[in-house]
Amino acid sequence: MEQKEIQELSEKILRLKKERNAVILAHFYQRPEIQDVADFIGDSLSLSQQAASTDAEVIIFCGVHFMAESASILSPGKIVVLPDEHAGCPMADMIDAVQLVCKKQEIPGVIVVCYVNTSAEVKAECDIACTSANAVKVVASLPPDRPILFVPDKNLGLYIAAQTGREMILWEGYCNTHDKLTAEDILKAKAEHPEALVMVHPECRPEVTALADKVSSTAGMINFAAASDAREFIIGTEMGILHPLKKRCPDKQFYMASKKLMCPNMKKTTLDKVYQALVTLEPRVDVPEEIRERAIVCLERMMAIK
């Protein structure tokens, strides 16, 4: 799409958004032009907080399905629209509620911690949720004498276990974008940019996080780069983050650790689809009340952890 078309469509979106009393929430992995029309851009945690506190009637959620579901769980009565209904998260699809219920029966007294990258049905079976920004705090807050099952991201689980010293039973899920990043990719990028600090997401493999100067959520990486004296950074997360990084730190250099770091689902949302979503208020994400009532418990417990 040409710059002029982007500008015209963005203006139409901004006008219609006001008429609809809608708020546009966008994750840092969204296309730059989507981030530029959003009211709030953030990581999973801050987008959940925004969804919980907005007084708009309509939430246009530019992200993936589980994020829009969290918005719907936290904002009952609001219309939540996901501009592309097929924008899912393959990692969230690596576990379902039936599998989880079976696993829980094998572990008496278990506390189940779910990464927010899970369906509402799975959340309804869990005790507490976490995002990459608060996962270590959430697990550290749990009683020491109970077994913990962490679902579904084994890489994030290994990282939390190492940080907290808590033993955890891990589900065998993974993000097939972050899991592609290898230690060799990082070593090659470091050889090319010897002055650069390495920032990676905890969804990366343990041998990758072991090589990083900073392991954190997307928001944590942006804050770290802004506060750091370093001028150059190697990025080990989805490439959408380059847009907010360059905006926040225009005088610093950012290098992707690998060209493979692209989440096809996050890129399904386009400006055209956002415009159509505002026109039709479809496709909606609606969590049935019976699931919502149970799923909200683990999200509220997470949000109570400071």
Exposed, middle or buried by CB within 10 Å (0-12, 13-18, 19+), for 125?
Answer: buried
Which residue's CB is nearer to ligand SF4, number 51 or number 56?
A: 51
**Smallest separation, CB 117 to ligand SF4 (Å):** 5
Given the structure tokens 């343990």, which residue do they identify? 206
> How many angstroms separate the Cα of 56 from the Cα of each of 19, 39, 175, 180?
11, 11, 32, 38
> How many angstroms separate the Cα of 269 from the Cα of each of 60, 164, 263?
11, 36, 11
Q: Which partner in ligand SF4, ligand 13P, none is near 90 (CB below 5 to 8 A by kind)?
A: ligand SF4
Exposed, middle or buried by CB within 10 Å (0-12, 13-18, 19+), for 192?
Answer: exposed
Binding mask 96-135 toward ligand SF4 (x if CB under 6 A, else -) reads ---------------------x------------------
Q: Which of residues 253-272 bind ligand SF4 (CB under 6 A)?
A: 263, 265-266
- Interface stretch with ligand SF4, choices 74-82, 88-96, 225-233, 242-250 (CB under 6 A): 88-96
- Interface stretch with ligand SF4, choices 123-131, 175-183, 249-257, 284-292 (CB under 6 A): 175-183
Under rule CB under 6 A, how many of the chain's residues touch ligand 13P? 11
d(CA 130, CA 121): 16
d(CA 262, CA 99): 29
CA dihedral 138, 140, 143, 149 (to 10 degrees): 60
Q: Which partner in ligand 13P, ligand SF4, none is near 26 (CB below 5 to 8 A by kind)?
A: none
d(CA 123, CA 116): 8
Residue 48 binds ligand 13P (CB under 6 A): no
**Smallest separation, CB 202 to ligand SF4 (Å):** 11
Q: How big is the chain, counted in residues?
A: 306
Contacting residue, 90, 127, 190, 267, with ligand SF4 by CB under 6 A: 90
d(CA 142, CA 123): 17
Strands 22-27 and 40-42: parallel
Binding mask 139-178 toward ligand 13P (x if CB under 6 A, else -) reads ------------------------------------x---
- Interface stretch with ligand 13P, choices 127-135, 142-150, 166-174, 273-281 (CB under 6 A): 127-135
Which residue's CB is nearer to ligand 13P, number 26 or number 133?
A: 133
- Residues forming the site for ligand 13P (CB under 6 A): 43-44, 117, 131-133, 175, 201, 203, 217-218
